[in-house]
Amino acid sequence: MTKIKIVKLNFTSPLHIGEIGIGLEESSLVLHSDTIFNAICNSLSKLYGREWVTTFLKGFSESTPFRISSGFPFINNTLYFPKPMSWVNVKKSLLTNYSKKLKKTTYLTQDFFQKWISGEQLFEEDLKKITENETLEVCENTASDFGINFLLPKVSISRDNAESSIYFLGSVRFNEDSGIWFILDCKDKGYEEKVLSALRLLQHDGIGGKRTWGYGSFCLKDKNVQEIQLDVPSSETQLLLSLFYPEKGEEDLFSGKNARWGFSLRGGYAYPYGSKSSSQKPQRLFIKEGSIFEKIPKGKLLEDAINLEGFEKLYHYGFAYSIPINIDEGEQE
């Protein structure tokens, strides 16, 4: 058993988490680690000043004060984890009926997640329960156990000719007992208190897209920060629970015979605290959640030049958060 600290965000307004390439009409249920990190840093700027945060970020090259996972949905006390990019341990005869449904499944409850990463054999009754959650996705104007997904019609007006056009914004309104959770792993208690203070301030500012409309506000009570026991195997192979941008020298991670990975295109705009304007982020491919490597991935904090008065650099969080996973050497391709 491993103890991990988690933070649960109960949203009090709609949440929009956009993904590059799928349009404003779509909204994701994964609050990526870079988004959470950027929001925390903006709040730290409000609390301790821009210079303190700049020094704090520069220190990441020597020692990582804290690491975070990406954020995933929860319902009541049930946490959902990303499905690993490995085959589950089941009899081959069951794959005929369930392989397509398993491919469509995005999330696993903690119980099934622990069984999956430990390599424990699952049976048909288990697969039925797992694939029942394959619809745990953001779909147009639908209700689910965690909340309501809806499309909001909006009008944009061209600055050139004043012509109007209609577009739709996808959002999720979570139920009172649902929301997004993530792992917070701090170097020491001092950094943990700073991050939690930033999150308490952030609950009023919001997180995600369209915050100026009041989106992304959440409630963070003391009970939302808790330690849980996660049953993980003793294995050198690692499962990624955050985005990851490889550091120089980590190229060999991708040559392992058990390595499996996917990509997430990240970009968008940065809105640094204290700036009157935004700055477009360079688009980059990050390794996505659920990827698997044969040793612990580390990652890095990316630095880009920024064209905003009073700011020297723009930082993009690419550190990895991973846990051990068992891989069946003879798994199906």
SS (H, E, C) the chain: CEEEEEEEEEECCCEECCCCCCCCCCCCCCECHHHHHHHHHHHHHHHHCHHHHHHHHHHHHCCCCEEECCEEEEECCEEEEECCCCCCCCCHHHHHHHHHHHHHCCEEEHHHHHHHHHCCCCCHHHHHHHHHHHHCCCCCCEECCCEEEEEEEEEEECCCCCCEEEEEEEEEEECCCEEEEEEEEECCHHHHHHHHHHHHHHHHHCCCECHHHCCCCEECCHHHEEEEEECCCCCCCEEECCCECCCCCCHHHHHCCCCECCEEEECCEECCCCCCCCEECCCEEEECCCCEECCCCCCCEEEEECCCCCCCEEEEECCCCEEECCCCCCCCC
Alpha-carbon Rg for the chain in angstroms: 20
Confidence of residue 160 (pLDDT cuts 50, 70, 90): low
Tens-place pLDDT, residues 26-54: 456 889 999 999 999 999 999 998 888 88
Is pLDDT of 155 > 70?
A: no
What was the pLDDT predicted at 103? 87
Mean pLDDT score, 106-135? 89
What was the pLDDT predicted at 135? 47
Asked whether the whole model's pTM tops 0.85, one would answer: yes
Higher-confidence position of 223 and 311? 223
Residue among 333, 318, 323, 315 nearest 56 (CA): 315
Confidence of residue 329 (pLDDT cuts 50, 70, 90): low
Mean pLDDT score, 173-187? 93
Taken as a whole, the chain contains a residue count of 333
Is pLDDT of 139 > 50?
A: no
Q: What is the C-alpha to C-alpha distance for residues 88 and 308, in angstroms, rounded to an integer?
A: 48
What was the pLDDT predicted at 117? 97
Higher-confidence position of 266 and 7? 7
Is pLDDT of 141 > 60?
A: no
Is pLDDT of 197 > 90?
A: yes
Q: What is the C-alpha to C-alpha distance for residues 80 and 136, in angstroms, rounded to an integer?
A: 10
Is pLDDT of 109 > 90?
A: yes
What was the pLDDT predicted at 144? 65
Tens-place pLDDT, residues 217-260: 999 999 999 999 999 999 999 999 999 999 999 999 999 999 99
Number of Cα atoms under 13 Å in the Cβ half of residue 52: 11
Write out the two tokens for 329. Answer: 């050497």
Residue with tokens 């009409």: 25
Return the amino acid letter for 12. Answer: T
What was the pLDDT predicted at 321? 98
Is pLDDT of 196 > 70?
A: yes
Return the amino acid letter for 132. Answer: E
Of 47-61, 71-85, 195-209, 272-286, the least confident: 272-286
Of 102-111, 267-276, 294-303, the least confident: 267-276
